[in-house]
Amino acid sequence: MAVCDVANNLAEKVGEVELKDDLFGVEVKECILHDIVCMQRANKRNGTASTKTRGELRGGGAKPWRQKGTGRARAGTKNSPVWRGGGTVFGPKPRDFSYSLPKKVKKLALRMALSARFGEGNLVVIDDFGLEEIKTKEFVKVMDNFEFDNCLVVTGDVDTVVSKSAGNAVGYKILPVAGLNVFDILKYPKLMLVQSCIEKLEERLMV
């Protein structure tokens, strides 16, 4: 087992915590992380882009001009795709881009992402934020103590005080253990874990 320092909100060491190798010491494979990130981004796509075909456009029932004798090309409808303002051929239609990967792969990718941050030395464990009220200034002060200006913070449960305090602070995101995902871990260069969430991470990812 690896040992990680536990700091208080002043960035002072107050203890140590053991991190299981099965959770924070996994061999990182970029191909698996890539697959998960692609899946997450695809699942976020709205898929609402839509164009009208010639049959969906308004009007176009009357023949623009007679078939012969005008010297112009034959035309049967103003909705023809070759006309300006006509229908679109093979244009996008609303669709669902989402797909899923096996649960075991998702858990493995999360463990790899956590291991990557720990291996880089960009993972910090804090005992408690110590915020008694919703105050952005106090949250930013804690981040400044660690010299973090771009960080993902993971709490055990939904922490309303911390999440609302960080709401107006740029460069930070607060997530409970249940909402932790590979994309956000890789997006933010620093990862901060509240000590109480480590046990819940083990329950979620070690089963």
Examine the domain organization and report whether 55 and 145 are in the same domain: no
Whether pLDDT at 158 is above 90:
no
Rounded to whole angstroms, the Cα distance separating 53 from 61 reads 14
Mean pLDDT of the chain: 93
pLDDT in tens, 5-56: 899 989 899 899 989 899 999 999 999 999 999 999 999 999 999 999 999 9
35: CATH: 3.40.1370.10
HSE-up of residue 188 (Cα within 13 Å, Cβ side): 24
pLDDT at residue 139 above 80? yes
Dihedral Cα 200, 120, 174, 42, nearest 10 deg:
-90
> Is the same domain home to 155 and 198?
yes
81 and 60 co-located in one domain: yes
Number of domains in the chain: 2
pTM: 0.85
* pLDDT band for position 2 (cuts 50, 70, 90): confident
Alpha carbon of 48 to those of 38, 45, 97, 207: distances in Å? 19, 8, 10, 37
Amino acid at 135: K
* Residue ranges making up the domain that contains 35: 2-45+97-205
**Which residue among 30, 63, 96 closes a domain?**
96
DSSP conformation class of 174 = E
Same domain, yes or no, for 188 and 106? yes
Confidence of residue 97 (pLDDT cuts 50, 70, 90): very high
Residue 98: the pLDDT is 96
The gap from C-alpha 192 to its chain's centroid, in whole angstroms, comes to 17
136 and 39, same structural domain? yes
